[in-house]
Amino acid sequence: MTEADNATRNGTGDPEIIGVRRGMFGAKGSGDTSGYGRLIRPVALPGSSPRPYGGDFDAVVDALADALGRDGYDASVERVVVYRDELTLEIDRAQLPVVAKTLRDDPALRFELCLGVSGVHYPGDEGRELHAVYPLMSITHNRRIRLEVAAPDDDPHIPSLFTVYPTTDWHERETYDFFGIVFDGHPSLTRIEMPDDWVGHPQRKDYPLGGIPVEYHGARIPPPDERRAYN
């Protein structure tokens, strides 16, 4: 896939509509307790960005292309997105460790610090439902970028970055715990927040809102599916 193909993955670079959300949270089958049951809005992802990207972003992309080589860059970078003054490189998941190591070690890049891993679940992004987002910072050049990797629900595997950025250790465990993304190569990929015998991954969009009551200041707070519905 060439850079021109990557830049037009969704046709024009306009926002990519992947679904429609009904109600405040898009909950199904458990009642809408928000009072916004009739709210309807599209679920959109930012589209690809054309050059020039602005600021230092062009220099970063060009330096990465030089370091990987044109063939390596085209095989690794699916598209470039500039949104709200942030540069995001969407990376093929198999190439993630190579790209991360290049961003860390190349003198023109030197993104020495990974600030964590965030999971996202987009049920409407067919074949790319699970996303992992890595914010990177270059202390040397005072720059920030983000890497984003996608995997399908039926194959939720992404290579671990523990050997490149050891600080991702607990962040990858948390993302696995809440979203079910399996980080291949992680030294101890176990739950970190939920009990070991917990069933499911509670920050996925398809996770039911029902749950267990919570005791708070002497009061019993019922789970969301037992609270009053306003729709």
Q: What is the pLDDT of residues 212-230, one digit of tens each?
A: 777 778 888 887 667 765 5
Percent pLDDT > 70 in the chain is: 83
- Say how many Å lie between the first and final Cα of the chain, rounded: 47
Angle, vertex CA 123, rays to CA 117 and CA 127, nearest 5: 85
- Could you tell me the CATH superfamily of domain 3-226? NADH:ubiquinone oxidoreductase Nqo5 subunit (3.30.460.80)
Which pLDDT belongs to residue 218?
A: 83
Q: What is the mean pLDDT of residues 112-132?
A: 95
- Distance between CA 206 and CA 183 in Å, rounded? 21
Q: In angstroms, rounded to a whole number, what is the distance separating the alpha carbons of residues 37 and 35?
A: 6
Inter-residue contact 160 to 168 (CB < 8 Å): yes
User: Are 111 and 137 within 8 A, CB to CB?
Assistant: yes
Mean pLDDT, the chain, as a whole number?
Answer: 87
- Characterize 177-210 residue by residue with b for buried, 16 or more Cβ atoms within 10 angstroms of its Cβ, and e for exposed: bbbbbbbeebeebeebeeeeeeeebbebbebebe
Task: Provide mean pLDDT across the span 74-99.
Answer: 96
Q: What mean pLDDT is predicted for residues 59-76? A: 96
**Mean pLDDT, rounded, for 169-198:** 96
* Residues making up the chain, counted from first to last: 231
Q: CB burial class (10 A; 0-12, 13-18, 19+) of residue 78?
A: buried
- Identify the pLDDT of residue 213: 76
Q: What number is the average pLDDT over the span 155-184?
A: 97
Q: Is the predicted pLDDT of residue 7 greater than 70, yes or no?
A: no
**What's the pTM?**
0.81
pLDDT at 5 exceeding the cut of 60: no
Query: Is the pLDDT confidence value at 3 over 60?
Result: no
